[in-house]
Structure 1
């Protein structure tokens, strides 16, 4: 199979597609909006949007393609889908947690998960965490799991201490 298939997440919004895309490209460096298309008269009886309103915003977050669609109020985000942000440093974790959680739902924060101002769920964690959680029978994995379960925003240093014992 010669050509590599690109799978692009399509995020459904109710009138906030452009606002959300602009927010996400500000949060993640090396990101950009690639195209914005608008609704026309065609199909108005089905989509119900005003001609000229933003329909789709295509954008890239650090080279990863995304699409934001203004599809209306029919569907909303839930925690069944989230985006993972594996961080290389405590400062990077602080940056992404702070930016993505600002204006979001504080009650939806647990174990490094957060819900942003648009209702989209994110997991912000040290990039080494999945490896530290391997081996359900290991005492190190148990210590890290126990420490993590007590946190909302993950505390890099506390998790490191739990990993080392």
Structure 2
């Protein structure tokens, strides 16, 4: 017998109330129940970072969090970054600096780096690399991602 709970959660500014199985991960809730497929599942044990979303402003691995844990909370996914079809400065820099190739890791990296730049608006290259260490990218070699994050920070400071 399934153990079900009703949760109320706000995702990307939209409130939802859904009945979910208590063991359903946040990643599966977002992808399967809300059809927000930008959150990717790679390793499903928190090591790759592809499933990173923000809960109450904090980057979390949605494969390790249960949907019921978000009851009454706010969740942001990659789909919520662009507003009115306009990409964020970081999304634009990823485009300009070729910070993505296959794109599988990109949503998690964007969510991680968005929080990172809010906390550290003037990072060094070493700090960016350290912040990226929890996100695995098999295509880019990271340099273009680092360049995009540093360019985003410089742009926000008015240096570009």
TM-score (norm 2): 0.30
Relative to total residues, which structure has the larger helix share, 1 or 2?
2
Structure having the larger proportion of residues in strand? 1
| Larger of the two Rg values belongs to structure | 1
| More RCO (CA 8 Å, sep 6+) | 2
